[in-house]
Amino acid sequence: MADEKPSLSYLLLLFFSLHAFFIHSAYSQSFIGVNYGQVADNLPPPSTTVTLLKSTTIAKVRLYGADPAILRALSGTGIGVVIGASNGEIPSLSADPAAASQWIASNVLPFYPATQIILISVGNEVFSSGDPNLPSQLLPAMQNLHSALQAASIADKIKVSTVHSMAVLGQSDPPSSGAFQASLTDTMKPLLGFLQSTGSPFTINPYPYFAYRSDTRPETLAFCLFQPNQGRFDAGSRITYMNMFDAQVDAVRSALNAAGSKDTEIVIAETGWPYNGDADEVGATVENAKAYNGGLISHLRSMVGTPLMPGKSVDTYIFALYDEDLKPGPTSERSFGLFRPDGTVTYDVGLAKSGQTAAPAVGPPSSPSATKGPAGYCVPRPGVSDAQLQGNLDYACGQGIDCTPIQPGGACYLPNTVASHAAYAMNLFYQKSEKKPLDCDFSKTAALIPGNPSYNNCIYPGS
């Protein structure tokens, strides 16, 4: 009967279904995405690429267009997809609502919902494109596409936004002073109003690599690469930032807040680090690319968020899935790929699913090695701040050690504190290293002790 109360068995089934859903969500790492560009002549077919994606923890893909072969290949995978309308399409989409309706009819409706399209990006870095007409045409194009989605009754499922470069900020350092360029006020204000009214994200491309290119001091490199460093104090917010990614994202958060868009979500449409470059492209090395992307992924997995947006990882699309060998410009432009066309990794940042299921190291300590440095366990010194420990945690887990045990559901996840997770990761990093004094230094925040600390109710790997 319609007014019959749910049975106990039904409620139990519902409870366990929801429990399974949230457990699955914890492991899906839905905040990690990748950019899939196609300016190349050596890429594998879309079906091969989708097989590669399914072998990783990558949960979202950003396309720069709406290639039908790729969209068909992604059907049924559950991978979230961002599709793009190019800068060249903006004038027609802006001028003619029928053109926008046709764009949706051609690029969305034949594939959705089997292919999980979640966002349409209208243009790319329009405000720094050099075309003086595009900025005024951008919002009407977005509005027309949104109206076409409404007509198809899917505007609540697929959002419309546009991707910005960090150049839209007139001020970003320190993060608390973040503000949009004054010259963009007339254009940016209604655009932000559209995003807020439609529940669409503000998407932006922060690149700590370019920040380092303009300031090549060693301490800046460590700050950009999620490596142990002294941090940078923001007097406006009284926050010490331990990495450039957080600082850049929070500068965007401050700018949005100052513009009255406190509820607008931020999505990182691109970020990455090149592994190769010309002689004058300082910092473009495999070691630095692995450190940045590995540290970034570890930071996102920690779910610590940023100081202004704690407790939730910002959706982040890493640039890029593959190198694009036909791109013009310096060597670095063709050297961002995480994978080679044959599916092998350019360098390993722990994205393979098999790396997420490795058995936790909870066995008895091994005996000291006669060929290595001092025996013992590397632990944080007393009084070290959570911000510094989070930086140490991101760095250690970004170096390829198995941090599965301190992720949700892992044997050493509880207690869920920065201190206990950092202690586990710092010690494991030391045990897997050559055990030189610097391997348990972490900018003077760690020390060796003789006894097993057994944090997290785990037996730590020992010397």
For the stretch 105-118, pLDDT in tens is 999 999 999 999 99
DSSP string across 132-191: TTHHHHHHHHHHHHHHHHHHTT-TTTSEEEEEEEGGGEEE-SSGGG-EE-GGGHHHHHHH
The mean pLDDT of 243-263, rounded to a whole number, is 98
- Residue 14: per-residue pLDDT: 40
Which tens digit of pLDDT belongs to each residue from 448-461? Answer: 888 777 665 676 66
In angstroms, rounded to a whole number, what is the distance separating the alpha carbons of residues 398 and 296? 7
Residue 356 has pLDDT above 90, yes or no: no
Q: Looking at 125, 281, 287, 324, which residue is catalytic?
A: 125
Active-site residue, selected from the candidate residues 270, 281, 287, 434: 270
DSSP three-state, residue 332: helix
Q: Is the pLDDT of residue 103 over 80?
A: yes
Q: Does the pLDDT at position 331 exceed 60?
A: yes
Closest CA to 114 of 157, 168, 172: 157
Between the CA of residue 403 and those of 301, 407, 417, 452, 456, what are the distances in Å?
10, 7, 14, 18, 13
What was the pLDDT predicted at 415?
A: 86
- The H or E element containing residue 379 is strand 377-380
pTM, two decimals, is: 0.83
Pair of tokens at residue 402: 């198995």
Average pLDDT value for residue range 1-26: 40
Q: How confident is the model at residue 430 (pLDDT cuts 50, 70, 90)?
A: very high
Indicate whether 78 pLDDT > 60.
yes
pLDDT per position as a tens digit, 59-75: 999 999 999 999 999 99
Per-residue pLDDT, 409: 83
In the predicted model, is pLDDT for residue 239 greater than 50?
yes
Number of Cβ within a 10 Å radius of residue 258? 15
> Which runs of consecutive H residues, i.e. helices, occur in 227-325?
244-258, 286-301
Inform me whether the pLDDT recorded for 171 exceeds 70: yes
270 as an active site residue: the answer is yes
> Could you tell me the pLDDT band of residue 16, with boundaries at 50, 70 and 90?
very low
Q: What percent of the chain shows pLDDT beyond 70? A: 87
Q: Is the pLDDT of residue 354 over 60?
A: no
Query: What would the DSSP string read from start to end of 206-221?
Result: --HHHHHHT---HHHH
- Alpha-carbon 249 to chain mean position: 11
pLDDT category, 134, cuts 50, 70, 90? very high
Q: Is pLDDT at 5 greater than 90 in this prediction?
A: no
Give the contacts of 403 (CB within 8 A, at least 6 positions apart). Answer: 298, 301, 396, 397, 424, 425, 428
Q: Which phi and psi angles does 32 have, rounded to 5°?
A: -100, 120
| pLDDT at 456 (0 to 100) | 59
